Amino acid sequence: MLSGCRRALPAALRLAVRGWAGGGGRRRVSTSWSPVGAAFDAKQQRSRQTGQSSGLFGVPELSSPEGFQEAQEKALQETEQLVQKACITPPGPQTVMIFDQLSDALCRVADLADFVKIAHPDFAFREAAEEACRNIGTVVEKLNTNIELCQSLKQLLANKEVMDSLDPETRQVAELFMFDFEISGIHLDEEKRKRAVDLNVKILDLCNQFLIGAHLPNKIDKHILPEHIRYNFAVEGNYIQITGLHADCSDDLVREAAYKIFLYPNAEQLRCLEELLTSRNHMAQLVGYNTFAHRALQGTMARTPEKVMQFLETLSDRLFQRTLKDFEIMEGMKMKLNPQNSKLMPWDHPYYSGVLRAERYNIEPSLYCPFFSLGACMEGLNFLFSQLLGISLYAEQTEKGELWCEDVRKLAVVHENEGLLGYIYCDFFQRADKPHQDCHFTIRGGRLREDGEYQLPVVVLMLSLPHSTRSSPTLLTPGMMENLFHEMGHAMHSMLGRTRYQHVTGTRCPTDFAEVPSILMEYFASDYRVVNQFARHYQTGQSLPKSMVSRLCESKKICAAADMQLQVFYAVLDQLYHGEHPLKRSTTEILKETQEKFYGLPYVPNTAWQLRFSHLVGYGAKYYSYLMSRAIASMVWKQCFVQNPFDRAMGERYRKEMLAHGGGKEPMLMVQGMLQKSPSVEDFVDALVSDLDQDFETFFMDSE
């Protein structure tokens, strides 16, 4: 999964770059660098401990939690000055630059705080970051309804002569800033503008409340559960805590109990969801949209809810027979293992599809892990980026206070001709209170600064990998390896989206395009020619046999239609919740009807899966984006890289057409540039469905 992809990012994160030439020329190689693979398979070098703390990410104020308050105050002072400057500047490119600086000033705090509030081990830092996010968010909403500020941008957009003289990226950024004003209700009278600000603050609070509720455990009197399954759950006195679905448990009764208890409706969470959906709809209608979905899809590739539903319904129709066949196979396996209760239920799908994969292809993760040490995987990524893009990754030693945890690694991303492109902080290892999610966070976006220097992007990749042991380095399962490649796809987008404005840098692009680079990396991770470059047994040096890669990749196609059908169901549900209001039925009744029509396994009475659907917060009306991005990634892979995954000419085309623009160009124009055609809904669906076909030659060619 992607974080903070639409926010503008910090200019003030002045990371100390040691050993680099000054000025605008190519930066030289740093003496503090070391090979990337060894850095991950060896113990972390301690940060330099001498002198004063550099502060988190090299931000001096953030040497302590109290520094967030100081950083906020600085950002707000700079914001006031820039607002005044914007209001007196004549229409021209300078107007857009000031707006970008304004956004940048606020996000020196906001984007960094977005990461710190969930990932820092120190509660005081997390709390201070949470407060900073709230405060900056409130300021942003007020600025988005500042009439005088908006007027300065309107004057620019209304001046045809000046607009015609601007380059396409500057025009696009000006229009994006105006869009932010419009969806916040700038055109409304004063009373309605205030209502819009209040609604946005309320929506933010409801989102936070819903996210917390989505992950809270449910508890039940332990005597209600059969004694022989209680040990599968956490016991607290007379109660059992159910913290998840236990989808991988081999005991059908455990999965059934977990499903029914964990998804049992919580009245407060139900009220929160209903209020969130209603508030979003009120906000959308207040600023002139029919529904929240119409507002959310502005600027995306899909553009309208109608187009999204056409895509999802067409895909569902094409999947229908394949999904039925998958369910029959799973039910057959359940009959074989549990003949007394063989009806296939929603809690069975993940488990029995996994059983079928393992039975047919013998893909026990422990057979693969010895070949996927973290260091080897990082060297594999390094080799791939070097061949495709002329980019190398180097480990860099950090300063005192720069990191939030000592096992974080800092990578310098270096181009063979252009020099240093940016930094990736790798927060890869498990720790107490760290979220179990794989994420990419933008900490600072790239932009062309006023002094002519390019502000280098900084990102964090967060995974939950096991630590090394005395006898072995960190070893990854195939799923962990694929997730690493996926998140590194986001990181490369951030490094190579070298736009003039940070408002559209890297992954700051429409959601249904933002996942394309990351999903494309999954195709590379599934290709034997790529895997063969790095998958070596950590003890013997033996290469991972080609047959094992083939089995692994083909196993992913087992029950893949049913897996995709489930995603269609989630995406349709998301569209319906954010469609016309008031909703004609309760959210649970809509869930039941949609599940029966777009999934096929029966709804279970007294459950409310939607109350655990945390993606409704970050991906409201946009959950379809995963499927659409996968369709585009599939087309790019088959047309451009399947013949040769190391093709430098294609790599350069990929950078030029898809990565370099960030959000500074219409996403469909970027796709057209890469594919040399404009894909239709049918093309998207064809790409997804063709990936389900058993086809060994697609992914497994000899490396000759």
80-132, pLDDT tens digit by residue? Answer: 999 999 999 999 999 999 999 999 999 889 999 999 999 999 999 999 999 99
DSSP lists the bridge partners of residue 459 as 424, 442
How is residue 457 annotated by DSSP?
A: P
2-13: average pLDDT: 31
pLDDT at 24: 37
123-156, pLDDT tens digit by residue? Answer: 999 999 999 998 998 898 889 889 999 999 999 9
Residue with tokens 């040096």, as numbered in its chain: 541
pLDDT at 38: 83
Handedness of CA 431, 435, 438, 441 (dihedral sign): negative
Distance CA 168, CA 156 (A): 14
Contact between 394 and 411 under an 8 Å Cβ cutoff? The reply is yes
Helices (H), 556-666: 560-577, 587-598, 615-618, 625-636, 648-654
Amino acid, single-letter form, for residue 56: L
20-31: average pLDDT: 40
Contact between 170 and 500 under an 8 Å Cβ cutoff? The reply is yes
- Residues annotated as catalytic (active site), given as ranges: 487
- By DSSP bridging, strand 419-429 and strand 458-465 are parallel
Handedness of CA 11, 46, 120, 474 (dihedral sign): positive
Q: pLDDT above 70 covers what percent of the chain?
A: 92
Burial, 455: exposed, middle or buried (Cβ in 10 Å; 0-12, 13-18, 19+)?
Answer: buried
Task: Using the CB atoms, write b or e for 275-296: b if 16+ within 10 Å.
Answer: ebbebbbbbbebbebebbbbbb
Distance CA 613, CA 578 (A): 14
638-695, pLDDT tens digit by residue? Answer: 999 999 999 999 999 999 999 999 999 999 999 999 999 999 999 999 999 999 997 6
Closest CA to 324 of 557, 559, 594, 595: 559
Q: Taking 90 as the threshold, does the pLDDT of residue 418 lie above it?
A: yes
- By DSSP bridging, strand 454-455 and strand 458-465 are unpaired
Distance CA 408, CA 441 (A): 14
Q: Taking 50 as the threshold, does the pLDDT of residue 446 lie above it?
A: yes
DSSP 408-429: -EEEEEEETTTEEEEEEEEEEE
Distance CA 125, CA 131 (A): 10
Amino acid, single-letter form, for residue 384: L
